[in-house]
Structure 1
Amino acid sequence: MQPDSLPAVLSVHPVLDPARLSRLTEESARELIRQGQSANTRASYQGAMRYWAAWFAARYGQELKLPMPVPVVVQFIVDHAERELVLEDADEAAAPAGKKTRRKVAKKVPLVFDLPPEVDQVLVAHGYKKKLGAYAQNTLVHRLAVLSKAHQNVNVDNPCNHTQVRELIKNVRSGNAKRGVKPHKQAALTKAPMDALLATCDDSPRGKRDRALLLFAWASGGRRRSEVADAIMENLRKVDSRGYLYKLGHSKTNQDGKENPDDAKPVSGKAAAAMDAWLEVSGITEGPIFRRILKGGKVLDEPLDPTAVRKIVKRRCLQAGLPGDFSAHSLRSGFVTEAGRRKMDPADAMAMTGHRHYETFMGYYRAEDPLDRKASRMLDGDDAAVE
């Protein structure tokens, strides 16, 4: 079709340049991306980019602009990744010229990183960084992933894909592994600690809500805190006396909400009974399932946010006196770990959690105490091996 054959009314609209985006189009695209992300993802992304901007301003005295040069990303890594300070002992410094040798002496030396102390202090003081010191490996990898995504979003050269950066972060992981440093993982809320948690929930509205929330999150496949916060009555269906089915459409592993045979997550047994009790006391029939409650026990229309879900788990763990580092993620790892210990079919468990890849699924498994493993006692007799 030729432009002059279009209706005359179209001539009043500005002609677009097919080679570049208009400002309005860029803003609309950003808004579509924002709406497609969870609140938790947005907050994590924004926090990471704020830190990048603050660090860059402190180190280079400039405003951060994309694309980021590769040397800057390398500097960021050495500023935040710990390494051993290698000391050399020149015992033979007095040897004749040409015969002088340098011998590395194995010493217990401190770990170092290149972020200047005064810069570190300023970043912490202004709230860009939680605490002084190097980053944990998971945090460093997350910061790089966010920067990589920022470059992808504006379609510019991505320094995180550069060989030098990829090789450096690979060796950071390797160095940490050699020193016995492992990525931090929260403890798993398996059946025993879950029972202790549930025992802290009384018959008050708050107690019934927390009990229903914990059981819903755990028994339906170890739901993420964002999935719990986003749970709505419209997706919850009472089937029969056995319990409910909850339709999980949008999730971290199903960003576009495609129909999936495993979308229906069972809420049965104790979880169904707890849900019945919560819905009865709250009178909720539509909208968010898990909501804020005032001190007097009044249930509000406002839903819990993902941060509140995490706080509920940590508060109940504290009340139960559970040792260990627990968080909302502990519900997911607890489900996977309990399923593994009970020899559940991994395919069935993955259908519940929503994992597509076995390796990712097993990343949530927490191995039991080595001395408790039955395989280690196979020579002790049949009874010891199967008890």
Structure 2
Amino acid sequence: MRKIDHYIHAGTRDNTRVAYQSAIRHYEIEWGGFLPATSENIAQYLVDHAEKLAINTLRQRLAALAQWHIDQGFPDPTKTPLVKKVIRGIQREHPAQEKQAKPFQLEQLGMVDRWLDQAISTASASGDRAAELRHTRNRALLLLGFWRGFRGDELTRLQVEYIEVSPGHGMSCFLPHTKGDRQNKGVTLKAPALKQFCPVAAYIAWKELAELDSGPVFRSVNRWGGVGNQGLHMDSLIPLLRTIFKDAGVADSDDYSAHSLRRGFANWASGNGWDIKTLMEYVGWKSVQSAMRYVDAIDPFAQHKIEASLSASPATAALKIKNKDDLA
């Protein structure tokens, strides 16, 4: 690979690259389209999948096709009025409610942490090193994922050499690139040491037990207690979390995803008085719109707000007086 190709390759996030490659394969191989494409080809592709794929998936496919044409030096057929009208029509005819991850609550975090603590003790006492390693890793992954509000891919990309620990105070995690870091400057995120459910203590325990001094933080553990060299793959994170939750007795464990930890923390913080600015700075959101997608209203049906307003309104007071008179 030429050096220029190396840097071009590095300029695109791995997840984006994989998604774009998949989209191009779908267009060419599964649908039978030809590249370079015309706007009519693209429009027909959208029409053929309008009832099969979500609107966000179609938009991602368009982005991949647009990037392919730009990279190859061809005009971008996805920006024509025809394609834009078709995508707007599909969105109007096939509206879809955005699905959000189910938030993982603090009570559930406590339940799973206690289960993992017991599982670690049992494995250690029986000399089952593989089980002890897995449970210790899972505890660190769970607590750090929740209290730091990490995205799933950020958890899998953590590197030991980029983490600094101050025992009893907290830890700093440097990520060379994140989803919101468009200029690739990197970002340092801090997690606190806590008296209970402590992510710092859990991380130290895993690092020492697995004897890690560099490389990925969270890795596979084989049946013999061998720790892998590569980091956990993003696709394995959701099944892993669901298995942990199920084993710990969490109801409806299959309803959770990697984003459940991030959304759960956001809801916990909002419910405990964190203002939106503080929450955005801590988690790393750049816009209020992004933050609000993760935060559920404390009173989602506005029941308490409406009832409080009714109690204070003159009409309600007059109705109460009338009811008393009628009873008299």
| TM-score, normalised with respect to structure 1 | 0.68
Please identify which structure carries the higher helix content. 2
Paired amino acid for 1:244: M
Structure 2: distance between partners of 1:157 and 1:363 = 35
* Structure 2 counterpart of 1:76: 45
Paired amino acid for 2:152: R
* Structure 2 counterpart of 1:217: 145
Change in 2 beyond 3 A, CA 1:211/1:172: same
User: Does the CA contact (< 8 Å) of 2:66 and 2:78 recur in 1?
Assistant: yes
* Structure 2 counterpart of 1:65: 35
Gaps of 5+ in 1: 1-23, 83-133, 383-387
1:268 and 2:193 aligned:
yes
Structure 1: distance between partners of 2:244 and 2:100 = 19
Paired amino acid for 1:327: S
Paired amino acid for 2:193: S
Structure 2: distance between partners of 1:380 and 1:280 = 58
Change in 2 beyond 3 A, CA 1:28/1:193: same
1:322 and 2:251 aligned:
yes
User: Does the CA contact (< 8 Å) of 2:144 and 2:191 recur in 1?
Assistant: no
Written as runs of structure 1 = structure 2, the 5 A alignment for 1:303-342 is 303-319=231-247, 320-323=249-252, 325-342=255-272
Change in 2 beyond 3 A, CA 1:309/1:278: same
Deviation readout 1:110-159 (Å, 9 max, x if unpaired): xxxxxxxxxxxxxxxxxxxxxxxx11233222222222222233343222
Paired amino acid for 2:157: D
* Structure 1 counterpart of 2:26: 51
Structure 2: distance between partners of 1:298 and 1:195 = 29
* Structure 2 counterpart of 1:36: 11
Written as runs of structure 1 = structure 2, the 5 A alignment for 1:229-378 is 229-258=156-185, 263-269=188-194, 270-319=198-247, 320-323=249-252, 325-367=255-297, 370-371=300-301, 374-378=304-308
User: Does the CA contact (< 8 Å) of 1:291 and 1:302 recur in 2?
Assistant: yes
Q: 1:187 aligns with which of 102, 107, 110?
A: 102
Structure 2: distance between partners of 1:199 and 1:169 = 49
Post-superposition offset of 1:338 = 2.6
Structure 1: distance between partners of 2:201 and 2:311 = 42
Counterpart secondary structure, 1:327: coil
Q: 1:142 aligns with which of 55, 60, 69?
A: 60
Structure 2: distance between partners of 1:197 and 1:140 = 38
Deviation readout 1:267-322 (Å, 9 max, x if unpaired): 43211121122122212122221111112333233322222223222222333343
Structure 2: distance between partners of 1:77 and 1:147 = 12
Structure 1: distance between partners of 2:78 and 2:205 = 50
Q: 1:175 aligns with which of 78, 93, 114?
A: 93
Count of paired positions: 294
User: Does the CA contact (< 8 Å) of 1:48 and 1:146 recur in 2?
Assistant: yes
Deviation readout 1:322-373 (Å, 9 max, x if unpaired): 3262211222222223333333122222122222121122222345674585
Change in 2 beyond 3 A, CA 1:146/1:376: farther
Deviation readout 1:157-197 (Å, 9 max, x if unpaired): 222222222232223223334xxx31222222232333344
Change in 2 beyond 3 A, CA 1:372/1:199: farther
Change in 2 beyond 3 A, CA 1:159/1:191: farther
Deviation readout 1:230-282 (Å, 9 max, x if unpaired): 1111111112412211122311221543155xx23224321112112212221
Structure 1: distance between partners of 2:67 and 2:304 = 45
Gaps of 5+ in 2: 121-131, 313-328
Paired amino acid for 2:289: E
Counterpart secondary structure, 1:316: helix
Q: Percent identity?
A: 25
Paired amino acid for 2:261: L
Q: CA RMSD in A?
A: 2.7
User: Does the CA contact (< 8 Å) of 1:228 and 1:309 recur in 2?
Assistant: no
User: Does the CA contact (< 8 Å) of 1:293 and 1:299 recur in 2?
Assistant: yes
